[in-house]
Amino acid sequence: MSASTVSWQEARRRAHEAGGRRAPETVALEDAVGRVLADDLVALMAVPHYASSAMDGWAVAGDGPWRILERRAEGPDEREREDVAQSVLRAGEAVPIVTGAVIPPGTRGVLRSEHGVLAPAGDETGQAVGTGPARLSVGPDGATGEPREGLHIRPAGTEAAAGETVFRAGAVLSPVHVAVAAGCGHDALEVVSRPRVTLVLTGGEVVERGIPGPGSVRDSFGPTLPAVLAGLGAEVVARHRVGDDFGATLAVFAAVPLRGSHETGDGTPGALLPEAATPPGGRTGLPGIRYTAPGLTERSIADVPGPVAELIVTTGGTGDSSADHVRPALRAAGAEFLVDGVAVRPGAPALLARLPDGRLVIGLPGNPLAAMLALLTLAHPLLSAMQGRGMPELGRVRMAEALPAGKAPTTLRPYRLVAGQAHPTAWHGAGMLRGLAEADGVLVVPQDGAAAGAELEVLRLPW
């Protein structure tokens, strides 16, 4: 463990502290699901904005029997609906009403259709007279005195008053939030811009198709990290593959001109030259940038241009061997290390750094489980902060079985819940993902381990 290594808790804290909130943008309601609200959401009108009927039937005024008025506006003509809505009902009058329609002023309550009986208009003796308006009475299924005041009326403003704050900034918008926003009169919402990520997969041994030979491995990250990052609210805007090559690794960090010459950590000279000084053989590739470095190849440069992302996530190459170039290239690019190793297993070589132009870099170890857990440790807090959200909360679970003391101050261990208790999953080696695939979360195990029945903190999974 190097002197610069920090505790797992401190690594999370630093990652959250490193992220500044991104600027807001306006999106249509249909594009807002999954986005983070940038401002408090205020109701633009009372919700509901008019008193409406909760039943099909009749709006009635005063005591029955009631004289039925044939006022109805069920068509699309908004003017006609408003006229009908505003005309006052007088005692002894009733008007047919459908669920959701406006309650006319003067209404006592709504007599639901099953509880009313209609008779043709009659004279004093009840004798039917011509084709005049029908009369409505409470039928045998209705209660005496029905409808009482306010029966089957949904009053205005019961869900929100006009101007009331309905959701706070920082809320992640579910489809239901968006439906409420529509109900509050919004056509578009202010959301935090998605943090943009450039994904850099290192490792000459990594293959993307077929059955690899000995020494080669199938790529676990290319097909999966964009989805995991999307689940954390980010958007992968560019993706690069680099071999075990210092220059190519440096190129992905050098998206803005850097001046001067930089000594790399392993002593390899990594020269980033100002434009005017680009020597013959120096390559151009990034907009406005020329630089040269040992091992720089045509392909590595051609791969690099693309939309500028605030965050670069690399995989592999975080170790100290001659094939590992992430740390030396970051040093050569003038990066400041915010997290330079974490006292956790697996995932110890993970790092967080800031480039001179402000872009952040998360270096994930190559071992697949270590990489996924480092992503939860560093990227989740960082991306939360970039979206104006707090530190992702840890859950708690009770252990079904004991876990032995660990070799590091913190061990992260996928678990499955059975009957409400946590069972650590098998296949938890740093290079294995099978245990995480079937996990319900990840245990944060202290150095001393845990007894059966003890409660432990857990990381929630973003998928």
Ligand X SMILES: Nc1nc2c(c(=O)[nH]1)N[C@H]1C(S)=C(S)[C@@H](COP(=O)(O)OP(=O)(O)OC[C@H]3O[C@@H](n4cnc5c(N)ncnc54)[C@H](O)[C@@H]3O)O[C@H]1N2
Instruction: Return residues touching ligand MOO (CB under 6 A).
Output: 345-349, 365, 367, 370, 430
Least Å distance, CB 324 to ligand X, is 4
Least Å distance, CB 341 to ligand MOO, is 10
- Residue closer to ligand X by CB (options 58, 221) is 221
- Residue closer to ligand X by CB (options 84, 330) is 330
**Residue 148: closest CA among 112, 188, 187:** 112
Q: Which amino acid is at 324?
A: D
Q: How many CB atoms lie within 10 A of CB 241?
A: 18
Residue whose Cβ sits closest to ligand X: 366
For 345, the token pair is 């297993």
Q: Which amino acid is at 58?
A: W
For 318, the token pair is 């975080």
- Residue closer to ligand MOO by CB (options 250, 369) is 369
Phi, psi (degrees; rounded to nearest 5) at 181 = -60, -40
**430 sits near ligand X (criterion: CB under 6 A):** yes
Classify each residue of 165-200 as buried b or exposed e, where b means 16 or more C-beta atoms within 10 Å of its C-beta: ebbebbeebeeebbebbebbebeebbbbbbbbbbbb
- Residue closer to ligand X by CB (options 115, 325) is 325
Distances (CA, A) of 39 to 14, 29, 32, 186, 302: 25, 15, 13, 13, 40
Taking CB under 6 A as the criterion, the residue among 367, 377, 384, 387 binding ligand X is 367
Question: Beta strands 66-68 and 93-97: pairing type?
Answer: parallel
- Per-residue contact flags (x/-) with ligand X for residues 190 to 209, judged by CB under 6 A: -----------x-x-xx---
DSSP string covering 308-343, please? --SEEEEES--SSSTT--HHHHHHHTTPEEEEE-EE
Tell me the residue length of the chain: 463
Least Å distance, CB 432 to ligand MOO, is 10
- Per-residue contact flags (x/-) with ligand X for residues 212 to 241, judged by CB under 6 A: -----x-xxx--------------------
Window 297-336: residues binding ligand X (CB under 6 A)? 315-319, 324
Window 340-359: residues binding ligand X (CB under 6 A)? 346, 348-349
Least Å distance, CB 364 to ligand X, is 7
Q: Which does 457 bind (CB under 5 to 8 A by kind): ligand X, ligand MOO, none?
A: none
Cβ atoms of residues 363 and 379 within 8 Å: no
- Residue closer to ligand MOO by CB (options 346, 381) is 346
Tell the residue number behind the tokens 């208790």, with chain if given: 421
Residues that bind ligand X (CB under 6 A): 201, 203, 205-206, 217, 219-221, 315-319, 324, 346, 348-349, 365-368, 370, 430-431
